[in-house]
């Protein structure tokens, strides 16, 4: 095991890669980014310039040849996570895979197996386990503040993704449920002490973005856990006004409501507008709610620092490939539920040949047909 700061390579150079690089910069004590790889010429160089990253590559496999790199983060489209994980593990480096873990359950299982075989950590980028406000709710729950918890709600909504590949179900695997619901499933499972998920019931539709995607832009999903509690996750790519992320926790002795952005925001009115309010906000004119220390409030710097400390053996991973696999299984059950119009029990095995979760809804017998306006 090495010492000093963990040397990190980032795959990808756009949205999440930028967040990762900025997060390592916010908490520089445990890790340093030494290289970035991204296929479009110039893009990796641009990120490198912005964050002072010394080396750039257009082929991530070339970056993996760097001996000093110990941990590689995957900030590339979902359809590439499995192959990249296998390549990183074969190069003997620890892996941080962004959500969702993979496109299929089999891929997720293989990713976990390959990491084990090569003796490297497969860590899963679920920042909600590190989000200070949500962590506070969990600490209170663990201290008994809410008594026996019977309902946990999480929702994440905005007006749709920032990058074109998300709309292409062959690269993303699904819409709002796959993209955002993976957070909600992971959150409820983690909040409820990783009680196994017994059933999933899900309803979804495409209401506003049918011109550019086959994917669902609204989904409602109910999860039943083995301990008797229920999770309710709401996800949307059809919600105007920027990012909205919140939780509610109900127990026999109490309740807490937490809105990730409100309470960290300045209630602001501006005729002229200003630089930046919050992720995916369409405007800064009129009434807006700019956040401060946005990445810190999301928990990404804390998450990545924790992962670097795991590489050094100082901490034990709090978010793993196994967490990502639980999410994959629930996602498949969710799309099957929406496609079949019934509650689906876990473990759920998709029929052979299903290559992505959304196929179960798109090809399902009771798919809701929503007239496009």
Residue among 9, 125, 173, 251 that touches ligand NAD (CB under 6 A): 125
Shortest distance (Å) from residue 341 CB to ligand NAD: 28
Residue among 15, 274, 276, 292 that touches ligand NAD (CB under 6 A): 15
- Of 40 and 363, which CB lies nearer to ligand NAD in the complex structure? 40
Place of tokens 């059809």: 238
| Alpha-helical runs (H) found in the chain | 15-26, 43-51, 60-63, 81-90, 105-118, 132-142, 169-172, 176, 182-191, 294-298, 300-311, 321-340, 359-362
Residues 315, 9 contacting (CB under 8 angstroms): no
String of b and e for 91-104 (b: at least 16 CB within 10 Å)? bebbbbbbbbbbbb
Q: Is residue 78 near ligand NAD by the rule CB under 6 A?
A: yes
Binding residue count for ligand NAD, defined by CB under 6 A: 24
DSSP run (H or E) holding 124: strand 122-125
From 77-85, 138-146, 267-275, 341-349, give the range in contact with ligand NAD by CB under 6 A. Answer: 77-85
Q: Angle formed by the axes of helices 321-340 and 182-191, to 10°?
A: 120
Phi–psi pair at 71, nearest 5 degrees: -135, 135
Shortest distance (Å) from residue 214 CB to ligand NAD: 18
- State the pairing for strand pair 254-259/230-236: unpaired
DSSP string, 19-77: HHHHHHHHS-SSEEEEEEE-SSTTHHHHHHHHHT--EEESSHHHHTT-TT--EEEE-S-
- Of 12 and 184, which CB lies nearer to ligand NAD in the complex structure? 12
Give, in degrees to the nearest 5, the angle at Cα 247 between 241 and 249.
155
Q: Is residue 75 near ligand NAD by the rule CB under 6 A?
A: yes
Cα→Cα distances 238→215, 233, 244, Å: 12, 15, 11
Residue among 22, 32, 39, 364 that touches ligand NAD (CB under 6 A): 39
Shortest distance (Å) from residue 268 CB to ligand NAD: 24
Q: Is residue 213 near ligand NAD by the rule CB under 6 A?
A: no
- Of 165 and 250, which CB lies nearer to ligand NAD in the complex structure? 165
Q: Is residue 61 near ligand NAD by the rule CB under 6 A?
A: no
Side-chain half-sphere of 141: how many Cα atoms within 13 Å? 23
Q: Is residue 77 near ligand NAD by the rule CB under 6 A?
A: yes
Residues 124, 324 contacting (CB under 8 angstroms): yes
Q: Which of residues 145-204 bind ligand NAD (CB under 6 A)?
A: 163, 165
Residue among 11, 82, 260, 265 that touches ligand NAD (CB under 6 A): 11
Q: Is residue 85 near ligand NAD by the rule CB under 6 A?
A: no
Cα→Cα distances 364→35, 334, 357, 361, Å: 44, 12, 11, 5
Shortest distance (Å) from residue 218 CB to ligand NAD: 18
Q: Is residue 360 near ligand NAD by the rule CB under 6 A?
A: no
Shortest distance (Å) from residue 54 CB to ligand NAD: 18
From 22-30, 36-44, 254-262, 305-313, give the range in contact with ligand NAD by CB under 6 A. Answer: 36-44
Residue among 87, 127, 216, 294 that touches ligand NAD (CB under 6 A): 127
Q: Is residue 99 near ligand NAD by the rule CB under 6 A?
A: yes
Residues 33, 26 contacting (CB under 8 angstroms): no
Q: Is residue 38 near ligand NAD by the rule CB under 6 A?
A: yes
- Which positions lie near ligand NAD, rule CB under 6 A? 11-17, 37-40, 43, 60, 75-78, 80, 98-99, 125, 127, 163, 165
């Amino acid at each position: 095991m090495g010492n000093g700061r963990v040397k990190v390579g980032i795959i990808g150079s756009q949205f999440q890669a930028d967040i990762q690089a900025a997060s390592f910069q916010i908490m520089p004590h445990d890790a340093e980014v030494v290289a970035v790889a991204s296929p479009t010429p110039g893009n990796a160089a641009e990120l490198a310039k912005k964050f002072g990253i010394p080396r750039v590559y257009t082929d991530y496999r070339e970056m993996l040849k760097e001996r000093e790199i110990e941990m590689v983060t995957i900030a590339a489209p979902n359809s590439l996570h499995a192959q990249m994980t296998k390549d990183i593990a074969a190069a003997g480096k620890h892996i941080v895979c962004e959500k969702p873990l993979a496109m299929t359950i089999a891929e997720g299982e293989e990713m976990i197996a390959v990491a084990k075989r090569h003796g490297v950590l497969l860590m899963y980028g679920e920042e909600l386990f590190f989000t200070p406000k949500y962590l506070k709710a969990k600490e209170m729950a663990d201290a008994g503040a809410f008594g026996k918890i019977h309902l946990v709600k999480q929702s994440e909504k905005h007006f749709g993704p920032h990058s074109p590949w998300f709309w292409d179900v062959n690269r993303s695997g699904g819409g709002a449920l796959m993209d955002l619901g993976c957070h909600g499933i992971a959150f409820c499972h983690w909040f409820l002490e990783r009680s196994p998920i017994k059933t999933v019931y899900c309803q979804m539709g495409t209401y506003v973005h049918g011109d550019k995607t086959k994917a669902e832009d609204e989904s409602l999903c109910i999860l039943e856990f083995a301990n008797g509690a229920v999770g309710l996750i709401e996800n949307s790519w059809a919600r105007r006004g920027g990012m909205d992320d919140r939780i509610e926790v109900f127990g026999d002795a109490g309740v807490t409501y937490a809105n990730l952005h409100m309470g960290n925001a300045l209630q602001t009115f501006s005729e002229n507008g200003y630089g930046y309010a919050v992720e995916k906000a369409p405007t800064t004119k009129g009434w807006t709610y700019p956040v401060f220390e946005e990445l810190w409030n999301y928990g990404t710097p804390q998450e990545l620092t924790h992962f670097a400390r795991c590489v050094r053996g100082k901490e034990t991973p709090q978010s793993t490939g196994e967490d990502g696999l639980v999410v994959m299984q629930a996602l498949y059950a969710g799309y099957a539920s929406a496609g079949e119009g019934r509650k689906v029990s876990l473990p759920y095995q998709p029929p052979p040949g299903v290559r992505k979760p959304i196929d179960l809804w798109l090809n399902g017998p009771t798919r809701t047909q929503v007239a496009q306006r």
